[in-house]
Homo-oligomer: A and B are copies of this chain.
Amino acid sequence: MSTINEMLLNRGVTVEGIAEIVFLLQSPYNPVLTLEHCIESVQAVLQKREVQYALFTGIALDELAEQKKLPLPLQQILQKDEPLYGVDETLALSITHVYGMIGLTSFGYLDKLKPLILQKLNNKNNGIHVFLDDLVAGIAAAASARIAHNDPSAKRYDLPSF
C-alpha cells in the first residue's frame, strides 16, 4: 500500500514543496521556524481523514479530466479551468477549516499569487490541476495555521474569575 505522500508525488507535488509555502507564510512571524518544522506540520495535516478524502476526490477529478472521461459539461469546465467554477475552492476550504478560520486569509493569498510549487501546478502545460492547486494551497494554509496555533509564545486568554 502506498501513502498519501506517494499519491501527491505521482501528481508532481512533494511534501517539501508544500512545506516551502508554509515557510514562506509563517517565517515572517516566527524567526526560529525551520523547514523541518513546516514539513512536520504538513505531514500532520495530511494525516487528517477529511484532508485525505478531499485529496482523493479532487485528484480523481483532475485525472479523469486529463483522460477526458468526465461527462459534459464538466469535462469542458475543467479543461478550460473555468474561472467561475468554485468547487475547487469549496473543497480546499474544507481542508483549511480543519485548523480554524485563520487559515482562510493565507489560502486566498496563495490562490491569488501562486508562489513556488503552485506556479508549476497552475501551468497548463503540466496537466490538469484545477483541484490540486487549490488543495495544495489549502494544505499549506492549514499547516501554517497549525503552526500559529501551536506556537508556545501565542497568548492564551484566560477568563476572569466570576
Contact = CB atoms under 8 A, between A and B. Distances in A.
Interface residues of A, number: 65
A31 interface: no
A102 interface: yes
Please tell me how many copies of the chain the complex holds. Answer: 4
B160 A2 contact: yes
Given A60-B70, A87-B57, A87-B91, A159 B1 contact: yes
Contacts of A82: 155, 157
B100 A74 contact: no
Contacts of A35: none
Contacts of A152: none
A53 B158 contact: no
Given A53-B86, A56-B157, A86-B102, 10 more contacts: A48-B100, A50-B86, A57-B87, A64-B64, A73-B160, A82-B157, A98-B98, A106-B108, A106-B112, A108-B109
Interface of A: 1-4, 6-7, 10, 29, 48-50, 52-54, 56-57, 60-61, 63-64, 69-74, 76-77, 80, 82-87, 89-91, 93-94, 97-98, 100-102, 104-113, 148-149, 154-155, 157-162
